[in-house]
Amino acid sequence: SPQGAVATDDGECSIDAGLAMLRLKGSAVDAAIAAALCCSVTHPHLLGVGGGGVMLVHDHLQMKTSIIDFLPDIPAASDPLRRTSQIGGDNIAVPGFLQGLYYAHSRYGKLPWAQLFQPALHKARNGFIVSASLEIALGNLNAALIPSPSSLYPTPASEDPRHSSRGGSSGHIFTNTFSATFLPFGAKLKRGTKLTRRPYADLLQKVADFGPEAVFELDYSVEVVKLLKESGSAITVAELQDYKVEEYEAIHSSYRNHTVYTAPHPLGGAQLLSTLQLLDNTGIDDTTPHTQLYRYIVQALGATDHAYYRMASEPNLRAYLSAELMNLTSELNLRDIYEDVGQKT
């Protein structure tokens, strides 16, 4: 597009969803939302309604850069010290994906909300080709996550979410939907296979028509929480329904005559900017040998990580950590760090 570019994990979603919205005179946020929804269909192992995200929005008219934070929340009753595995319901956080996209559209969207769903709905209903990435993700499924053989067959029509006004009413239906979609007759999908996701299309259609509240209405939330609790989750109905999106200013710094904007703590942006500042002090350029360049990068990352963990116990949260990390260059000199490590290796 003459006015922008779109890059995602799925080239077709970049073109058919993201660029399509730009060509319809939509905003960059419209394009990002449409592309994200499309990728949630084709790359569900990377993003989707059960997750969350972060969006950086630069308003070139007002010269203001904002961060929209819709990362999943940790359930209030969750106790990280009691977790014995990275698998299981106690590792599930409160999703913010749909709420975040809806908020971003309300603030920065131009096209109708429902229009942004059309590319995703088309792929979900008409099918798409399974990618190597999805095949690998399914191949890496832990045995504990694979449903029992009794659930590896299509759900009867009377129980199919496609025939329910709310998209399902039991854990059996949710499990069956996953199995019938991604493990047809017990076999994991292979790349090159054509896949449709009609139950997911029905869910997206409901959100397109009525907003995220349609997904988190009381009856549906109760069923979701019931299923999650059976797997050990601490998520409550109130947490699903009361999720709040945050928006705050981005942090920024200069690097080689460019201004770099990113997200503050706890999203890692302060470490990134501090690392760039440290690297800027080394005098690296196009002639720097790759081995030396990589050493500088590793040492800069190590220095900022060390500083982050040293300050992480401070009671002041985002503002303190971001400010302190941005001032690392007054405390550290990457060349000295590099020379010191060079003497030890």
Lowest mean pLDDT among 91-95, 147-151, 291-295: 147-151
Examine the pLDDT at 173 and tell me if it is beyond 80: no
Report CA 191 to chain centroid distance, whole Å.
Answer: 23
CATH number assigned to the domain comprising residue 322: 1.10.246
Domain boundary among 176, 211, 246: 246
Structure confidence at residue 222 (pLDDT): 85
| Judgement on whether residues 337 and 201 belong to the same structural domain of the protein | no
Residue 283 belongs to domain spanning? 252-344
| Judgement on whether residues 312 and 211 belong to the same structural domain of the protein | no
Structure confidence at residue 160 (pLDDT): 38
| Judgement on whether residues 118 and 263 belong to the same structural domain of the protein | no
| Judgement on whether residues 333 and 282 belong to the same structural domain of the protein | yes
Tally the domains of the chain: 2
Q: Which residues of 65-94 are buried (b: 16+ CB within 10 A; e: fewer)?
A: bbbbbbbbbebeebeeeeeeeeeeebebbb
Distance, CA of 228 to CA of 216 (rounded, Å): 14
| Judgement on whether residues 241 and 330 belong to the same structural domain of the protein | no
| Judgement on whether residues 259 and 240 belong to the same structural domain of the protein | no
Taking residues 32-43, report their average pLDDT. Answer: 98
Structure confidence at residue 69 (pLDDT): 96
Nearest 10 degrees: Cα torsion 148, 135, 93, 220 = -60
Domain boundary among 220, 246, 272: 246
| Judgement on whether residues 221 and 94 belong to the same structural domain of the protein | yes
| Judgement on whether residues 79 and 215 belong to the same structural domain of the protein | yes
| Judgement on whether residues 39 and 118 belong to the same structural domain of the protein | yes
Lowest mean pLDDT among 38-42, 155-159, 238-242: 155-159
Taking residues 135-155, report their average pLDDT. Answer: 60
**Model pLDDT for residues 294-337, shown as the tens digit of each residue:** 988 888 888 887 777 666 555 554 555 556 555 554 545 555 55
